[in-house]
Amino acid sequence: MAELEIKGLTVAVEGKQILAGLDLAVAKGETHALMGPNGSGKSTLAYAIMGHPAYQITGGQVLLKGTDVTELTPDERARMGLFLAMQYPTEIPGVSLTNFLRTAVNATSETDMPVRQFMVALRRHMADFQMDEKFLSRNVNEGFSGGEKKRFEILQMAMLAPEIAVLDETDSGLDVDALKIVSEGVNRLRGPDLGVLIITHYTRILRYVRPDYVHVMFEGRLVQSGGPGLAEELEEKGYEHLRP
């Protein structure tokens, strides 16, 4: 059984159907890439997996470790080991990065992590992501550059140690150096206990984070799945020839 299973999923936003029956399974230890042109429904899928209230599931199922989570809140899903790095991370004025992460870590684990242990882990991961310690007291995403926001998303992932991580366009807006830092971060976290779904428009990140499987989405459906070679083919030919 894959830890994340999506079965015949249909999703509507503001009454308009966006996902039109999508099947996908991501097991721990696997890295999947989901690619597709702008507007094909990639972020809609990410939000539906996480349980964003604006994305209405009109049919099908999202299963986490065999449990249908379609009625569960995002918090409950996070406690089950799900993590979403958002395409457009939001600013949280008045909440420091440290307090935000501490609350998130404690909310998703059985017991509170001792402060010292939390700070040691946080500082270690920040050093890995080449984030200056001055960020510890900065408000979440407030005045962060695009690259800093994306690095913070992966820092959250490192601190929360999820079992399934969905990364929505974590590569977008990154220069090559930042892309390498973020990719190395993802690669460090990869392993037998983590399943990753990398959502991307471009093949660029897939040169650094090699996926085991590649899927192509078009108008709310998967139109092709394959191995890593599929990403290279898309790089050459683009998406149009796969339009159904």
43 binds Mg ion (CB under 5 A): yes
CA–CA dist 147, 137 (Å, integer): 18
Nearer to Mg ion (CB atom), residue 42 or residue 149: 42
Work out which of 40, 108, 183, 200 binds ligand ADP, going by CB under 6 A. 40
Residue (of 204, 203, 216, 166) closest to 186 by Cα position = 166
DSSP 208: T
CA–CA dist 153, 15 (Å, integer): 30
CB of 192 to Mg ion, least distance (A): 29
Residue pair 87/166 in contact by the 8 Å Cβ criterion: no
Using DSSP bridges, classify how beta strands 31-35 and 82-85 pair: parallel, antiparallel or unpaired: unpaired
> At which residue do the structure tokens 């809609």 appear?
44
- Provide the 3-class DSSP secondary structure of residue 153: helix
CB of 43 to Mg ion, least distance (A): 3
Nearer to ligand ADP (CB atom), residue 129 or residue 153: 153
Report 82-101 residues binding Mg ion (CB under 5 A): 87
Nearer to Mg ion (CB atom), residue 43 or residue 203: 43
Work out which of 6, 26, 35, 36 binds ligand ADP, going by CB under 6 A. 36
The count of residues interacting with ligand ADP (CB under 6 A) is 12
From residue 214, give the alpha-carbon distance in Å to each of 11, 80, 229: 22, 25, 8
Stretch that binds ligand ADP, among 20-28, 40-48, 155-163, 182-190 (CB under 6 A): 40-48
57 binds ligand ADP (CB under 6 A): no
User: Under the rule (CB under 6 A), what is the footprint of ligand ADP?
Assistant: 13-14, 18, 36, 38-44, 54
User: Under the rule (CB under 5 A), what is the footprint of Mg ion?
Assistant: 42-43, 87
